Structure 1
Amino acid sequence: MSAPRTEEKYGDSVARFATEASDSIVEGSKPQGYLAPFNPTDVTAQQAALSMLGLSSEDMLYDLGCGDGRFLFAAFLSVEGGLNCIGVEFDRIYYERCLTTLSTIPPAQDKVQFHHADVCTTDLTDATAIFVYLVPAGLKLIQEKLHDCLRRGCRIASYMFSVPGLTPVKTDSTKGGCKVHFYDSSSLGVGGE
């Protein structure tokens, strides 16, 4: 039995997002180490983050706490010819939904990957851009990793919550008052910390 889907339009493309777990997924309590509730990034927040990140086909974009992958798909489809993307999701249900949606966007299948993994142990050394949605406690856990990424020249957009120890270059409020914070190497302050 396949999961019911909702559709979301991105330019000329339509992504079909799974809205329920399939029979192969067991619904249950949130996994231990849970760092963010599922909160789909609305289109205005996606657009703000995409504008701030200024993505190109040369980028390697990571989405930390990617949920059902909607930001990664929007990012992939916003760049002519796409870009390499990796979504990291701890909750197996949403990871499976990412894979279901990926099957509806054939051009993305060679460049978009999803990892069922813990963002705290994810290697970000090849990231040139990061979109992150984690609660403040989760951002604190990966704070040093994010600072290291900025030192290497990576750009970061954080949805809703600010990254501890960093000064955003820009903050946009989206529909409903949610915020997107943008960081680059200048966010580290004098001497790059």
Structure 2
Amino acid sequence: MLLANVTTEDICYDLGCNDGRYCICAAKEYGARAVGIEILPEAASKAQRAVMDEGVGHLVQILEGDLMETSVAEASVVFIYLLPRGMGEVAAKLERELQPGARVVTYLFSLPGHNPVKEIVVPVGRSSREESSFNKLRLYVMP
């Protein structure tokens, strides 16, 4: 979220939110509203419980469903950690729905058809393989 300069004015979406940690962080650390979209019922339930446990239910909404069938038009920041096979479809969706200037942060995989404005290596491991190009955050700004 630091990479995207999240503020209280932002509405952050996490596409494939799993346990909701990005949404919770956006709310707790930055006071931003956040929406997590998760297709797996168990993960969506776990994320919702975590949101309540962390006391950010007034700022975070977890939606159970297919991210391709859910509008992201209100998002000013989108976080994506998906496999490459889904990124092309997601990129087209973001191009259709997001306003110019919206920020998109990807983890590990790039957003097809877009050049990042910033890229950082995430220091998660001790070996050279773990610190390779596979552990990157990329920031994109939608045209």
Q: TM-score, normalised by structure 1?
A: 0.66
Gaps of at least 5 residues in structure 1 are 1-49, 186-191
- Deviating beyond 3 angstroms after TM superposition, the runs of 4 or more aligned structure 1 residues are 148-151
Gaps of at least 5 residues in structure 2 are 126-130
Confirm whether residue 137 of structure 1 aligns to residue 85 of structure 2. Answer: yes
Match of 1:180 in 2: 137
- 1:154-173 superposed matches below 5 A: 154-173=102-121
Match of 2:46 in 1: 97
Cα shift readout 1:42-64 (whole Å, capped 9, x = no counterpart) = xxxxxxxx121101111110000
Q: Percent identity?
A: 30
Q: CA RMSD in A?
A: 1.4
Give the aligned length.
Answer: 134
Residue identity opposite 1:61 in structure 2: C
Residue identity opposite 2:42 in structure 1: I
Cα shift readout 1:12-62 (whole Å, capped 9, x = no counterpart) = xxxxxxxxxxxxxxxxxxxxxxxxxxxxxxxxxxxxxx1211011111100
Q: TM-score, normalised by structure 2?
A: 0.87
C-alpha separation between the residues in 1 aligned to 2:100 and 2:66? 22
C-alpha separation between the residues in 2 aligned to 1:159 and 1:109? 25
Q: Which of 73, 83, 99 matches 2:24?
A: 73
Q: Point out the structure with the larger helix share.
A: 1
Residue identity opposite 1:167 in structure 2: N
Q: Which of 2, 7, 13 matches 1:62?
A: 13
Match of 1:118 in 2: 66
C-alpha separation between the residues in 1 aligned to 2:44 and 2:57? 15
